Amino acid sequence: MPGSNLTRVEAEERKAIVLAPIHYAVALDLTVSARTFTSTTTITFGAQAGASTFLDLIADNVSEITLNGESLDPSSVFVDNRIQLTGLKEHNEVTVKADCVYSNTGEGLHRSVDPSDGNIYLYSQFEVPDARRVYAVFDQPDLKATFDFSVLAAQSWIVTSNMPVANVTEVENVTTAEGVLGDHAPETAKRWVFETTPVMSSYLTAICAGPYAEWHTEYLNEDGRTIQMAQYCRQALAEAFAKDVDYLFDITKKGFAFYAKTWGVPYPYAKYDQIYVPEYNAGAMENIGMVTIRDQYVFESKVTDALAERRVVTVLHELAHMWFGDYVTMKWWNDLWLNESFAEFTSTLATAEATEWHDAWATFCSGEKSWALRQDQLSTTHPIVAPINDLNDTYVNFDGITYAKGASVLKQLAFYVGREKFFKGINAYLNKHAYSNATLADLLHELEITSGRDLKAWSAQWLEQSGINTITTEVSTAADGTIEKLTLRQSAPAEHPVLRAHRLAVGFYNEDPATGKIVRTDRFELDVDGAETVVAEAAGKARPALILVNDDDLTYTKLRFDAASLEFALANLQRFDDALARAIIWLALWDMTRDGELAAEKFVDVTLRLLATETESTTFRYALACMSTAAWHYTAPAARASVIEHVAAELWKLASAAPAGSDQQFQLITAYLGYGEEGDEAFAANARGLLDGSVTLEGLEIDNNFTWTLMNALASVNVYGDAEIDAQLAKRDTTENREFALGARAVRGNAEAKAWAWDQALHNDELTNMQLEAVARGFAATPRADLAAPYAAKYFDVVDWVWKNKTFHMAEALLEGLYPAYADPAELVRLGEAWLAEHKDADNALLRIICSEIESSQRTLKVRDFNAAL
């Protein structure tokens, strides 16, 4: 399929024609208008003489194209986002001048206006392949090149790129056009010229420009070089960010040292910037030498410890990419998982071993792994090494399989071959393929050499097959309480019938009489393979209170306890001393609940007991979220109202008893505010009282973000409306508060608000990506079936229009955000299955998005009926 959706076949064909060395000289003029910028690109490259190929470019207008000295007619050769190049020579030079468009969707070169001070901020986001929205390019990862960037911009701005600045000169005869600086007066311009990059992929190039606040330090690299480091953010966030800059520099330096020591390869690039940018679609992006990070990670208001830890993991994740993904890059997007899984695995390892967040693996289990288990049980699951036929396939592969399942599997691989041998293989891989492209086969080859293990069978089971196994514990006990036989039975779903080899541990847990805590008293590490494995070491040992298979979370599997262990876990989960053990057990209980094997009310009760004592913030966060799903969606309809009332009352009670100012207090009261229902006078009084100060929880600060949490809660139950929301926004009109206000308007609990939100999300093209997400999230968040019901049919009616008329990210945000999950699941399933029957030939990426939503409703229906039958 031609155009913006490049296929793998096309990429392979172009790779065979376009030859190294490839060099780009890219000149951007950011002074011309508030809508467009001028892009001039000169590319030199080798080719097979006489061959033809194409450049990628998404532009408003192409004014000039010159190939080997010959002027080409843009109207003839620029078609469907491609520039056709024919009659190539052995050595070629092509120059393209175009007018490209700023985005407000976080794709290409995003332009953000900060309403608090009128400042304009630009940043690029080029993954998957959106460098073509900024300059003409062979936009695929295996056509690596060197790049020279120069940027003309307002003299008061800062401009950054992948490399250090070579020089900056004032250009007195150029003044920014009206509107380029928003409401600020036009200025004269400067030209920033950057040093030539090393060989790199186009999706890793980057440009940021604007009046960013800046901080600088340096790091003495392990190879003796001094690495210049910088951090940037919007001026409006500078005061808040200044409090964290030294900490974040320190975390980054710890990452430099940890990775260099672990992999034996010092940081390879000239500098390292981290720039916190507004309205960012992802968590962050590993642009070489200049990482972009969402500026929700600049904390003006109190945040959960879970989010504070996630910021650390994100910083270390992107730093890991400088080696794994940037220094050595995948050939095609089917190995995207290797970039992301490795960065996720090693950033968690670094967080646990090099920072104060020592329970990072518990965080990983509760957060990332639960994401993987959820996606791996959909019909849209895929192998970790997924077949990627085109770019649309790639877009939807930034998922729990690519990140979390892959990271879990790499963690197991490190145990399987041994940590020292594993990282010795990584060292060989990085050195052998430095500044080039590689494949999974290249990595496994190095690991086989260092470990002496044949990894082909391991790869076939774990990386090339879909689905997840279940390991069930069976135990027979003698009359004296000793174990006669401990058996682990492995099963697989019928649609993915592969039994895998697991390296795992079995832990025995009992009460410590001195403390009353449940602690591990014994542990066995073993290989589990096939349908049945006997744990020989357990025979003759005293039966413990709980047998925990996959202790220390070494493998990736679903767990089912023996009956006695299950009963003990349900009664005593909150007493377990180890955060990772609690996370593993809790995740297994949640998996049983969503599979319709454990009563939703039992899960709610065990979670409430856990929340009274849990200290690991991410486990706490996910426990609250999953309890909400169980209460609102999985409980028997006849019992739901009483369960919701009970949960709300317990959350308020727990929040009131939590330590003053603690993370637990903050999470509990925030969760409580999601259980409001219209007409609940006590809820309204509590929420309004917290806002006006007549109700207090000691240590709870009613800061900006929490004020909007309260506004949201009051709007959802129709206590507050547009007037109150507008008045609150008028107090402090910022980028973030505009998003909060839009979300509050959308969450209002009435039909008029839902109609407004539906229309705004679909048809207001002035909304930024983050504003659209806020509207969609508010639209779908009100837990009332009567408000959601009218949109069940409307949703499936607009799917095709959304897919046709929106960019991928905006389409994904709409199709996931507007799904009316609180409508009758039976009706959603009926409508969804009818849509699927009529769209068998739809794009695979679209089918995956829609199937995921429909199957969520199918699961809700199944589990609700299970609970109703109890």
pLDDT tens track for 38-59: 999 999 999 999 999 999 999 9
Instruction: Using pLDDT thresholds of 50, 70 and 90, give the confidence band for residue 820.
Output: very high
How many domains would you assign to the chain? 3
In a domain, 770, yes or no: no
The pLDDT assigned to 709 comes to 98
Task: Say if residue 87 is in the same domain as residue 192.
Answer: yes
pLDDT tens per residue, range 747-763: 999 999 999 999 999 99
pLDDT higher than threshold 90 for residue 204: yes
Q: Does residue 337 surpass a pLDDT of 80? A: yes
| pLDDT, mean of residues 139-166 | 98
Average pLDDT, the chain: 96
pLDDT tops 80 at residue 518: yes
For 431-468, the pLDDT digits (tens) are 999 999 999 999 999 999 999 989 999 999 999 999 99
**CA–CA distance, 788 with 754 (Å, rounded to integer):** 8
Query: Is residue 20 domain-shared with residue 142, that is, in the same domain?
Result: yes
Residue 699 lies in a domain: no
- Residue 167 bridge partners (DSSP): 193
Dist. CA 249–CA 251, nearest whole Å: 6
Per-residue model confidence as pLDDT tens digits over 249-272: 999 999 999 999 999 999 999 999
**Considering 545, 577, 609, which residue would you say is the last residue of a domain?**
577
78 and 117: one domain?
yes
Both 125 and 176 in a single domain?
Answer: yes
Round to whole Å and give the CA distance between 736 and 182.
18
Question: Is residue 573 located within the same domain as residue 448?
Answer: no
Show the tokens assigned to 553.
């979370």
CA distances, 345 to each of 233, 342, 349, 361, 413 (Å): 28, 5, 6, 10, 11
d(CA 585, CA 589): 6
Whether residue 624 has pLDDT greater than 70: yes
CATH label of the domain that carries residue 67: 2.60.40.1730
Domain boundary among 150, 183, 211: 211
Cis peptide before 159 (omega within 30 of 0): no
Both 498 and 427 in one domain: the answer is no
* H-only helix segments in 630-768: 637-657, 663-672, 681-692, 704-716, 722-731, 735-747, 751-763
Residues of the chain with pLDDT > 70, as a percent, come to 100
Assigned domain for 198 exists: yes
Torsions phi, psi for 811 (to 5 deg): -65, -45
Higher pLDDT, 2 or 492: 492
Average pLDDT value for residue range 760-771:
96
pLDDT at 3 over 80: no
Question: What pTM does this model have?
Answer: 0.96
Let me know: does 533 contact 503? Beta carbons within 8 Å: no
Q: Is 173 in the same domain as 42?
A: yes
Q: Tell me if 593 is assigned to some domain.
A: no
Q: How far apart are CA 242 and CA 231, in angstroms?
A: 10
What CA–CA distance (Å, rounded) separates 854 from 22? 46
Co-location of 372 and 506 in the same domain: no
Which H or E run contains 266? none
In a domain, 227, yes or no: no
pLDDT band (50, 70, 90) for residue 392 = confident
Output the pLDDT for position 355: 98
Residues classed as catalytic? 318
Closest CA relative to residue 240, chosen from 299, 294, 304, 295: 299
pLDDT at 2 over 80: no
Ramachandran bin of 428, using left for φ above 0, alpha for ψ from -120 to 50, beta for the remaining angles: alpha
**CATH code, 387:** 1.10.390.10
Q: How confident is the model at residue 399 (pLDDT cuts 50, 70, 90)?
A: confident
**Where does residue 419 rank: exposed (0-12), middle (13-18), buried (19+ CB within 10 A)?**
exposed
In whole angstroms, give the CA distance from residue 513 to residue 534: 30
d(CA 448, CA 158): 47
Q: Is residue 323 part of a domain?
A: no
Question: Which residues have C-beta within 8 Å of that of residue 472, sequence separation ≥ 6?
Answer: 488, 489, 490, 491, 559, 560
In whole angstroms, give the CA distance from residue 630 to residue 622: 12
- For residue 29, tell me if it sits in a domain: yes
- For residue 1, what pLDDT band results from cuts at 50, 70 and 90? very low
Phi then psi for residue 484, to 5 deg, are -85, -45
405 shares its domain with 474:
no
- Residue 181 sits in the same domain as residue 46: yes
DSSP H helical ranges for 360-439: 360-363, 370-376, 391-395, 406-417, 419-432
Residues 447 and 478 in one domain: no
CATH of the domain at 482: 2.60.40
Angle CA 830–833–836, to nearest 5: 150
Could you say which of 442, 462, 482 is where a domain stops?
A: 462
Q: Residue 503 sits in which domain range?
A: 469-555+557-577
Quick check: is 359 in a domain?
Answer: yes
**Phi and psi, residue 583, nearest 5°:** -65, -40
Higher pLDDT, 91 or 392: 91
Asked if 120 and 64 sit in the same domain, the reply is yes
| pLDDT surpassing 70 at residue 769 | yes
